[in-house]
Amino acid sequence: MMAPLWVMIGGFFGAICRYAVSRWGARRSPRLPLGTLIVNLLGSFLLGWLAGSGAADAEKLLVGTGFMGAFTTFSTFKWESVQMMQQRQWAKVSGYVAVTYSCGILLAWVGWQLGR
């Protein structure tokens, strides 16, 4: 009965944090989707850490499913990549995709190692 509540609470705060980081990133780098890159890389690290930490089920629901589910954004990453491709910004989109995937996987692993 509590599981949906944990997910809802985490999602509420994750969405607010994502919005704040996205706005901050847009002000710092209007030509590169810095906010999306930051939330996805930070989310990869934190989710890896949570997975390795042995957290209780309620914590996994609150932080992992709720907060990280709303904080990270795979769909926005894909849409921004498509927009760069439509504008024929091949070097930019290649770098963005490469950094997001390679660093995301690396940070998830580092987080998992630190969580253990």
Q: Per the annotation, does 69 bind a ligand?
A: yes
Q: Determine the Cα–Cα distance for residues 39 and 13; give it in Å rounded to an integer.
A: 13
Q: How far apart are CA 34 and CA 114, in angstroms?
A: 25
Contacts (Cβ under 8 Å, ≥6 apart) of 28 = 34
Q: For residues 25 and 77, is the Cβ–Cβ distance under 8 A?
A: no
Q: Over its length of 116 residues, how does the chain's per-residue pLDDT go in tens digits?
A: 899 999 999 999 999 999 999 999 999 998 899 999 999 999 999 999 999 999 999 999 999 999 999 999 999 999 999 999 999 999 999 999 999 999 999 999 999 999 99
Domain boundaries, the chain: 3-115
Q: What is the Cα Rg of the chain in Å?
A: 15
The answer to whether 76 is a known ligand-binding residue is no
User: Which residues lie closer than 8 Å to 59 by C-beta, 6 or more apart?
Assistant: 50
Task: Evaluate if pTM is beyond 0.85.
Answer: yes
Instruction: With beta carbons less than 8 A apart as the criterion, state whether 100 and 40 touch.
Output: yes
- Which run of H or of E encompasses 2? none
